[in-house]
Amino acid sequence: MAHIKLSDVGVEFPIHNAHSRSLQLQVFGKLGGKLAQHKQAIFVQALQGVNLSFEDGDRVGVIGHNGAGKTTLLRVLAGVYEPTYGTMSIEGRLSSFTDITLGMDPEATGLENIIFRCVFMGLSFAEARRLSPSIQEFSELGEFLRLPVRTYSSGMFLRLAFAISTSIEPDIIIMDEMISGGDARFMERAKARLTSLLERTKILILASHSAEIMQSLCNKVIWLDHGEVRKIGSFEEVHPAYLDAYAG
C-alpha cells in the first residue's frame, strides 16, 4: 500500500539575492540605519494550503500555467523541498524522473554507469548487477557499453539513461513531462516500456502540458493556480474549466 497525504502544505522561497546573501548586510543590518531597509527578506509563495491525498491506483495529472507551482509540488512530493508549513506523509518506494541522468558519470563506461544510476535510484550494488543484463539488452548499445560515456552522442546517452531509469519498479513515480530518448525506432520501444511501467506503478504523479497524454494516462487531474489547488477531479471535469479560464 502506497500513499501520499498532504495537509495544509505551503512552500515559501526566500529570495537571497547578492544583497541579503552577503554576510555584510546581515551584520550591518543588525546595526540599524539605512541598510536595514534592504534587508527585508522577500518570499515567493510557491504553494499554499495544499490538501491532497493519493492512494494505490491514482494516476494524477498536474496542470497549470507556467509558474503555477507544478514543479514545486512535484519536488515537495519527491521529498526535495520540505514544506515550510503543514504536514506530509509518504509511504512507498518513490522514484522521481525529473532528471533521469542523475548519478551518471561521463568518465565511467556505460556498464559502470548502469550500476551507478541504479544505486542512485536506491538499489543495492547486487540488485543493480542483477538488473544490468536486461538494461544492456534494452539499450541496444552493444559494444559501446564498454566505452566511457563521454564518447557517446547525446542520443545514445539519453537512451542509456532511459533504459536504466525505467528498469526499476517503484511504488510511486513522479514525472515532469514524459521522458523519452533516442531515435524514432527506439522512441517507439521506449514508449511501450514506459507505458507498461506507468501502468504497473501504484501511484503516478505527472505534470504535463499535453492534453492527450494526460487524458490517456491520468484518472485524476489537479489544476494548480498561483500555488493553490483550484480544482481537482477527472480529466473531463477539470481540463475544460482550465482551458476556459485562460481562453477569455
Partner 1 sequence: MSSATTSFREVGQTRTAIGYGVLGWQDLIDGARQWRLCHLLATADMRRRFARSKLGQIWIMLSSAIYISAIGVVWSQLWHQPPREILPYVAVGMMAWQLISSIINESTTALQTSSNYFLNQYTSTSAIVYAVIYRNTFIFVLNMVFPLLICIALGVQFTAYALLSILGAVLLIITCIWMAFVVAILCARFRDIVQIVSSVIQIVFFLTPILWKPELLPPESRVIVDWNPFAVLISIVRDPLLGRPVPLKFWLASCLLAFGGLLVTLPFFGRYRRRVVYWL
Q: Does 119 participate in binding partner 1 (rule CB under 8 A)?
A: yes
- The least distance separating partner 1 from the CB of residue 242, rounded to whole angstroms, comes to 27
Q: Which is nearer to partner 1, 88 or 241 (CB)?
A: 88
Among 19, 29, 45, 83, binds partner 1 (CB under 8 A): 83
Q: Under DSSP, is residue 161 helix (H, G, I), strand (E, B) or coil? A: helix
User: What are the distances in angstroms from CA 83 to CA 10, 50, 174?
Assistant: 6, 10, 17
**Lookup: cell for 130:** 542483477
Q: Which is nearer to partner 1, 68 or 118 (CB)?
A: 118
Q: Does 129 participate in binding partner 1 (rule CB under 8 A)?
A: no
The residue with cell 500513499 is: 3
**Lookup: cell for 104:** 551518471
Q: Which residues contact 157 (CB under 8 A, 6 or more apart)?
A: 101, 104, 149
Residues near partner 1 (CB under 8 A), total: 43
By CB under 8 A, the residues from 13 to 72 that bind partner 1 are: 13-14, 16, 21-24, 26
Distance CA 216, CA 144 (A): 36
Q: Rg of the chain over CA atoms, in angstroms?
A: 21
Q: Which is nearer to partner 1, 89 or 134 (CB)?
A: 89
- The least distance separating partner 1 from the CB of residue 23, rounded to whole angstroms, comes to 4
Q: Which is nearer to partner 1, 5 or 189 (CB)?
A: 5
Q: Which is nearer to partner 1, 63 or 175 (CB)?
A: 175
b/e burial code for range 18-54 (CB count within 10 A of at least 16 → b): eebeeeebeeebeeeeeeeeeeeeeeeebbbebebeb
- Interface with partner 1 by CB under 8 A: which residues? 13-14, 16, 21-24, 26, 75, 78-83, 85, 87-96, 98-99, 102-103, 105, 107-108, 116, 119-125, 168, 170
